[in-house]
Structure 1
């Protein structure tokens, strides 16, 4: 959990990192003080305004932009919409009395770095640094049972052998995209989370929420719609985790959606980012209620690319990680990035939920059983903590009190 100062309400907000803005695309939040039944009427009002603008364009006031609503976000997620708007229509929307916040949509990217094995699972099984292979992974035999992990990513190769039928397709929010992982990033992350051979919580289910395109790039608006879908469709009997191995510039709207999801019992795990910059300048990792993950290598060095700062909550293996891939049901690949670190923590969180740990204390338990003070090369402003599984069984049997 982060304690960071939030900016005052502004009409157009742009993160301080060099965000890649999407032209004429905006995320619009309605006033939370408005009456509950005004959500629908607000949308109808904007639809009417958009129709008026498009009609004016058709009779001579030319614009190359077709104004339209792209997504609607329920009050439990964001209480707003995303829309494509030309400049004049944007100005008219800004003047509406129920508008609380508008920010320009921006690009969000997956956060892996491809490089060349199982050292990662061995590392989260013990407090000490791993040595030479062969490695061993110790975990509760029913790790993650009854828990759903929603993977907001490029999709999942759900038929891969490593999932053994435990991966399913949820939804696709990235526009004009197929229900398939044609990139590989999402499949790799899913394998780390629940894979039978290379995964952490081997009895959890993973659900694909495709918010990124086939090039590993997406938008904040599509990511918020993914969070919106998870809130509406969460169905884990023992709990729900949302794993987001992606990052973009700071977004007030994205962070609000993430915080609202966490307030409804969904454990949010987010990658810190791979730019060796302050993680507080990125979303969703800067969201107060996200558990934000940095990366380490097999010698407990902080990864050279891993973002840092007070918004990082914990670290996990993120260099040369082997997991499932696309192309066939037997494909594997090595990748590096905070993207790979994130599903390790998602898997540990799922294991805790599966054993009955309440969602509201999962973060504190993760931090209590983690390995402290072992990461090398870490900045003083960043937590020195590695997520591990070694003490989980003792914790759950009541032999460890934290």
Structure 2
């Protein structure tokens, strides 16, 4: 019997798009990230009647995020312009400043040798020599801190904060009510504890005062940076959650746009390939080490970890002034971001692939102890920048 379709027959409808659900512990019920096929118009016939997008994306992905009823979701699942749908999920900061108390101390502007992390990244081996003397400062480069904001009044950043963006509608704007973003910014570019102490810093606030944010918000932050980045530019995202194809696609697209992106591997001692955006292609994923050149016990592991940097008991800028310390891969990633800024000032605005190759090739191999099998033993090195 012939299998040729008869003239005038209609092709059967395509199967509904599968909805990828987040783990129950982090999923946001009724809220979805929708990615559209290239060329589809978010505001055209795609958005179902009654659905108001929370965020729309145009640069890093083509799509939107919205709350939807089951009926509205089913409308989208059969729409020919829809490429993928996933349940939105919560992501978190991958490290926290210690609470106020005896560990807090006010530190006047001083040599960067007050930070063992800075001291470690400019030498191949221990013992530490209490020096950090980079040739360059990151001047002319802008670092986009995709985080909880930055303390606008902190003197560590005086004269170098540039406009940013907030996806968190709580009245704080891009100001930091958590302290995490101020710490990571201090490591990238603080006057005292920063790798690149003349870099410009832009707060892209995607995490709330509790340290959490939806992937839909984080993607909106990536999208804003892709649209507004003043280059040469680097970006740091010391956050993550369960693996998300949408978040990974957004992080990769930001990197492909010419913004070097460094992200934290995560703090659960699990495979970073199950975490986003740590598992995204073409971003730099950073695990953590200790002052004794030991792999940090909390750091995520595996083939998605591109390199390791200081991340335990790290000193940096404190929300409200002075200094604080904390542990987490959140504080390892900004060291690599800072070195990325030094690279771009030194050599020019190379594409992300070139920056990645240089940073990884410059690492110090096999100097750390306790690195799990399957994780590269590669320690960040600033290589005289």
Task: Report the TM range for the smaller structure's normalisation.
Answer: 0.7 to 0.9
1:127 corresponds to: 124
Partner SS, residue 325 of structure 2:
strand
Asked whether the equivalents of residues 158 and 165 of structure 1 are also in contact (C-alpha less than 8 Å), the reply is no
1:285 partnered with 2:282: no
1:6 corresponds to: none
How many angstroms apart in 1 are the aligned matches of 2:363 and 2:384? 10
Q: Which runs of 5+ in 2 are unaligned?
A: 1-15, 104-113
Q: Deviations over 1:90-124 (max 9, x none)?
A: 11111111111000000010000445541111000
Between 1:244-253 and 1:367-376, the stretch displaced more is 367-376
Q: Which runs of 5+ in 1 are unaligned?
A: 1-8, 52-66, 394-402
Which residue, out of 308, 313, 316, partners 1:320? 313
1:31 corresponds to: 37
1:392 corresponds to: 384
Q: TM-score, normalised by structure 1?
A: 0.84
Q: TM-score, normalised by structure 2?
A: 0.88
1:259 partnered with 2:274: no
C-alpha displacement at 1:77, in angstroms? 1.1
How many angstroms apart in 1 are the aligned matches of 2:166 and 2:140? 24
2:186 corresponds to: 191
1:157 corresponds to: 151
C-alpha displacement at 1:259, in angstroms? 1.1
Partner SS, residue 182 of structure 2:
helix
1:167 corresponds to: 161
How many angstroms apart in 1 are the aligned matches of 2:295 and 2:358? 22
Q: Alpha carbons of 1:10 and 1:297: their partners in 2 closer, same or farther (altered >3 Å)?
A: farther
How many angstroms apart in 2 are the aligned matches of 1:289 and 1:19? 28
Partner SS, residue 168 of structure 1:
coil
Asked whether the equivalents of residues 18 and 249 of structure 1 are also in contact (C-alpha less than 8 Å), the reply is no
2:74 corresponds to: 91
1:339 partnered with 2:338: no
1:375 corresponds to: 368
C-alpha displacement at 1:10, in angstroms? 6.1
C-alpha displacement at 1:332, in angstroms? 1.4
2:89 corresponds to: 106
Tell me the number of residue pairs that the alignment of Structure 1 and Structure 2 aligns.
Answer: 353
Partner SS, residue 354 of structure 1:
helix
C-alpha displacement at 1:11, in angstroms? 2.3
Q: Deviations over 1:231-273 (max 9, x none)?
A: 110113xx11110000100000011111111111111100000
C-alpha displacement at 1:191, in angstroms? 0.3
Within-5 A mapping of 1:25-104 = 25-32=31-38, 36=39, 38-39=40-41, 42-47=42-47, 49-51=48-50, 67-74=51-58, 76-104=59-87
C-alpha displacement at 1:69, in angstroms? 0.7
How many angstroms apart in 2 are the aligned matches of 1:223 and 1:181? 16
Partner SS, residue 43 of structure 1:
helix
Q: Deviations over 1:46-80 (max 9, x none)?
A: 44x233xxxxxxxxxxxxxxx42111100x31011
How many angstroms apart in 2 are the aligned matches of 1:318 and 1:341? 4
Asked whether the equivalents of residues 297 and 318 of structure 1 are also in contact (C-alpha less than 8 Å), the reply is yes
Asked whether the equivalents of residues 17 and 78 of structure 2 are also in contact (C-alpha less than 8 Å), the reply is no
C-alpha displacement at 1:31, in angstroms? 1.4
Partner SS, residue 50 of structure 1:
coil
1:5 corresponds to: none
C-alpha displacement at 1:355, in angstroms? 1.0
Q: Alpha carbons of 1:181 and 1:208: their partners in 2 closer, same or farther (altered >3 Å)?
A: same
Partner SS, residue 301 of structure 1:
coil
How many angstroms apart in 1 are the aligned matches of 2:178 and 2:35? 32
2:19 corresponds to: 12
Asked whether the equivalents of residues 14 and 251 of structure 1 are also in contact (C-alpha less than 8 Å), the reply is no
Q: Alpha carbons of 1:318 and 1:29: their partners in 2 closer, same or farther (altered >3 Å)?
A: same
Asked whether the equivalents of residues 97 and 183 of structure 2 are also in contact (C-alpha less than 8 Å), the reply is no
2:7 corresponds to: none
